[in-house]
A and B are shown apart, each in its own frame.
Chain A
Amino acid sequence: MNSSQAVYQGIKKAGVDFVVSLPCVNLGRLMELVECDPEIMHIPVTREEEGFGVCAGAFLAGKKPAILMQNSGLGNSVNVLASLYQLYRIPILMIISHRGTAGEFMSAQVPMGNATPRVLDALKVVYLNPQTPDDALKLIPEAWILSEAGEAPMGILLDITFW
């Protein structure tokens, strides 16, 4: 199973039925799989912060939400994670393509790449870092269980080497 299929099967196994997305070159295949799935409502958004708002609304109606995003979008989403998700205790699965990690070819990605884990730590967002497709398939459904039970976002950080 390749990396994109493993993440897709992981979110299917988690029961995710509502996905918002902004693209990353590493998320392209996953976005296609989600878009073609009739059991998943897929909403492309214009900014990650907006996507978190859309997912919160869907969660209030009983959906199991996930966001597909590049780590750069985490910077756009700091306030919504604190003053909507943490404040009201709302779960979401954050599938994050983590650029600026080992193997990055573009230096511009490095500063936010380095900051990403510490921004998540500052927000007290727990994250997992699967290294292989098998890891992702196993950890993503577990992450959703923790997110729902803990009423808090869970991050899945996917390094460049993962893809």
Chain B
Amino acid sequence: MQRIEAIRKICQYLGDELVICNIGFPSRELYQVKDSPTHFYMLGSMGMASSIGLGLSLAQDRKVVVLDGDGSVLMNLGSLVTIYNQNPKNLVLVVLDNECYGSTGSQCTYSSTTDLKKIAESIGFQTFFFKDEIEFTKVLETDGPVFVHVKVLPGNADVPVIPLEPEDIKKRFMEEVQGKK
């Protein structure tokens, strides 16, 4: 399964959930699949998706789905420990694992030999694993924090840069979260 296909499948299950999407092609692919005020597209700060998702999930009650990557999770592994210990019921951390740094030319990460799901389990997370199909209803019904490991193929979809300014992404998302429309 290509990463954009995994994003498309997950999006089919999402309605009111807030989405924090990782920097680079994952955000571009999500924007191409579907744009929504519930989406926060990261344009910088690689590794911070799970941390932003943690802060958001602790500060309000709506469910938060983080779309992260293997390279980004490896850059901020301590975040998994903090998330588990803070124990937000409304946080789902999805790792779209293509075993490479996809946005920079598909250089290998260590996730082909080190199992990210086992790391999450050893920390204490409830985990799900998907490869060909994604059954996301069960994930959303499970009290978090939940770690969802999705193996995808390397490569990026041919999608354009997101035509939104960072401040506009932030403002629209904050209005959605805080209900100040």
Contact = CB atoms under 8 A, between A and B. Distances in A.
Interface of A: 18, 41, 43-47, 49-63, 65, 79-80, 82-84, 87-90
Contacts of B50: 53
Interface string B40-68: 10111111111111111111100000000
Interface string B157-170: 00000000011011
Contacts of A87: 43-45, 166
21 contacts: A43-B54, A43-B58, A44-B82, A46-B82, A49-B47, A52-B48, A53-B45, A53-B48, A53-B52, A56-B52, A57-B20, A58-B55, A60-B52, A63-B59, A79-B44, A79-B46, A83-B45, A84-B42, A84-B48, A87-B43, A87-B45
Contacts of A63: 55, 59
| Binding site secondary structure of chain B | helix
Interface residues of B, number: 35
Given A47-B76, A56-B55, 15 more contacts: A18-B55, A43-B58, A49-B76, A50-B51, A53-B47, A53-B50, A53-B76, A53-B79, A57-B52, A61-B177, A62-B59, A63-B55, A88-B166, A89-B167, A89-B170
B82 A82 contact: no
Most buried by B among A49, A50, A65: A50
Contacts of B167: 88-89
B81 interface: yes
Contacts of B173: 60
Contacts of B43: 83, 87
Contact of A58 (B40, B49, B56, B82): B56
Most buried by B among A41, A53, A83: A53
B7 to A, nearest CB: 20
Contacts of A53: 45, 47-52, 54-55, 76, 79
Interface of B: 20, 40, 42-60, 76, 78-79, 81-82, 86, 166-167, 169-170, 173-174, 177-178
A49 B120 CA distance: 20
| Binding site secondary structure of chain A | helix
Given A50-B79, A84-B44, A58 B59 contact: yes
Contacts of A90: 170
Contacts of B49: 53
Contact of A57 (B44, B46, B51, B81): B51
A64 to B, nearest CB: 10
B128 to A, nearest CB: 22
Contact of B45 (A44, A51, A59, A84): A84
B56 A57 contact: yes
A57 B54 contact: yes
A52 B82 CA distance: 13
A43 B58 CA distance: 10
Given A57-B20, A57-B59, A62-B178, A49 B170 contact: no
A77 B79 CA distance: 14
A84 B23 CA distance: 11
